[in-house]
Amino acid sequence: MSHKILVIDDDVPFCEMLKTFLSKKGYIVANAFNSVEAQQLIGKECYDIVLTDVRLPDSDGIELLKHIKATCISTQVILMTGYTEIKTAVNAMKLGAFDYVAKPINPDEILLTIKQALDKKNIVVHDVKDLSPDNNAKTKETVTNEDEYVKGNSKVSKQLNEYIELVAPTNMSVLIIGDSGTGKEHIAHSIHLKSKRKDKPYIAVDCGAIPKDLASSEFFGHIKGSFTGAVTDKVGHFEAANGGTIFLDEVGNLSYEVQVQLLRALQERKVKPVGSSTEIDVDIRVIAATNEDLPKAVREGEFREDLYHRLNEFGIVAPKLADRGEDILMFANYFLKKSNRELEKNVNKFSGEVERVFLTYEWPGNLREMKNIIKRSVLLTRGDVVEENVLPEEILNPRINTHSTDIVSAGQEEDLKLFSSRNEEQAIRTALEKVKFNKTKAAQVLGIDRKTLYNKMKLYNIEL
């Protein structure tokens, strides 16, 4: 299914150029050159993404943003700004904009931002068209957010949901601990959506993907000229999340030096952009997540104890899928419906044999693994029932792992440098599976740094 994008800018050549570029990437693109044209188009249908300039000849991006969110609540709005309009863009994010990109537009950046916006849009599900009496078809959208996701009836699921309900209305910092693929980010987002900050920004940050030398800039921002490469002012994650929630995923991967800076920001609720002498007050709630053993890291001096206690005001354990017994088939049917929607298929159910496999399999990759396996199976299914023959070999005949997944012997390590490009993708996938999709450990197994692993995963379109 091709996603629909509306590009709004009074610079006609630029608008047409961006339309051509995005069309070649598989998107269905429409153009509008002012606010009136844009509102007319939006009145006819809700686009997946709206890319709009902040300044328009007959209005501005802020007023248009308000109109879009009131008309099509699931539409993700990305602002295009000049260098002097960054603060306006940040204010717009507080009103519901997804993100902003600075002009001149970087092709890779705009594609990545669009992809991230589409991922976020998945929390909103489109209902069928509601035909009004005057025969004008209008698209009705229902925000399902956490209610669309399976909450589960098992004992561990009920306890998890109870904890979310209890802690959400407070301002307590929450530390979510669990294996990769257990849905830690979903838990964090659910807490935000049930909190008093639900109408404010929710900023998710993958701490493991931030290079050590850029961490201060990413978290706290910088001013133009503060270091080589700082060609514009940059708003950091903390300022962007002001008033709302910041989610620090894989927080255990932060370097010790960055931990010190993060602790200070959390204690004082102030941040200072790199190169600036002015401190900015921030009012944020922090939710962190990790699949690392942080108490062990504290004992070994790799993670600051004071930061650990600052983050762990309330701890939540994300249960493994294998421990959610009676919920397994509920999750499977949820992912079946989701896959049907995404792949435009109409597969009705799983065969009895497939259900038995699902209930007995250990699911080392948890919900993420189940989602990928079911999506692949739906794609391969030609009829309306998922049969055993479309399941991957690793789930039908799982290998017994007699070693701890936290320890990989030297004889088992696959150094990525020894593989040709033809085998490189398989090496990465094998390493990720071996360490239960822990990217830090996978990089160690492969003999590369984490940043290189991220780049390779992006190159081979490996999504976890």
> What's the mean pLDDT in 184-209?
89
- Phi/psi for 202 (5° steps) reads -125, 110
Q: Is the confidence at residue 196, as pLDDT, over 60?
A: yes
* Secondary structure class of 367 (helix, strand, coil): helix
| pLDDT grade for 345, boundaries at 50, 70 and 90 | very high
Supply the range of the domain harboring residue 327. 323-396
Q: Is the confidence at residue 275, as pLDDT, over 90?
A: no
Residue at token pair 């080392």: 364
Q: How many angstroms separate the CA atoms of 256 and 181, rounded?
A: 26
Classify residue 328: in a domain, yes or no: yes
Classify residue 247: in a domain, yes or no: yes
**Same domain for 95 and 49:** yes
Residue at token pair 């739906």: 378
Q: What is the pLDDT of residues 429-456, one digit of tens each?
A: 777 877 777 787 777 777 676 777 777 7
Classify residue 403: in a domain, yes or no: no
Asked if the peptide bond before residue 104 counts as cis, ω within 30 degrees of 0, the response is: yes
Q: Which of 287, 317, 347 is a domain's end point? A: 317
Q: Is the confidence at residue 338, as pLDDT, over 80?
A: yes
Tokens of 238: 């903390």
Q: What is the pLDDT of residues 449-461, one digit of tens each?
A: 677 777 778 777 7
Q: What is the pLDDT of residues 106-115, one digit of tens each?
A: 787 788 889 8
Whether the full predicted model's pTM is greater than 0.75, yes or no, is no
The per-residue pLDDT for 355 is 92
**Same domain for 327 and 309:** no
Mutual angle of helices 439-446 and 421-434, in 10-degree steps: 130
Classify residue 289: in a domain, yes or no: yes
Looking at the structure of the chain, the number of domains it has is: 4
The per-residue pLDDT for 148 is 54
Classify residue 351: in a domain, yes or no: yes
* Secondary structure class of 124 (helix, strand, coil): strand
Contacts of 34 (CB under 8 A, 6+ apart): 8, 10, 56, 57, 58, 59
Helix (H), strand (E) at residue 452 = helix 450-459
**Same domain for 418 and 376:** no
**Same domain for 162 and 70:** no
Q: What is the pLDDT of residues 378-428, one digit of tens each?
A: 999 999 999 999 999 888 877 544 333 343 444 334 444 443 444 667 778
| pLDDT grade for 232, boundaries at 50, 70 and 90 | confident
**Same domain for 289 and 171:** yes
Helix (H), strand (E) at residue 185 = helix 184-193
Tokens of 419: 């593989």
Q: How many angstroms separate the CA atoms of 349 and 373, rounded?
A: 14
CATH number at residue 441: 1.10.10
Q: How many angstroms separate the CA atoms of 429 and 425, rounded?
A: 6
**Same domain for 374 and 309:** no
**Same domain for 121 and 205:** no
CATH number at residue 116: 3.40.50.2300
Report whether 251 contacts 311 (CB < 8 A): yes
Q: Which of 69, 94, 125 is a domain's end point? A: 125
Q: Which of 317, 337, 359 is a domain's end point? A: 317
CATH number at residue 338: 1.10.8.60
| pLDDT grade for 290, boundaries at 50, 70 and 90 | very high
Beta strand segments in 321-449, E: 349-350, 385-386
Classify residue 134: in a domain, yes or no: no
Q: Kindly list the strands in the beta sheet with 314-317, ordered across the sheet, starting from the edge strand earlier in the chain.
A: 202-206, 245-249, 285-290, 174-177, 314-317
Classify residue 137: in a domain, yes or no: no
Classify residue 139: in a domain, yes or no: no
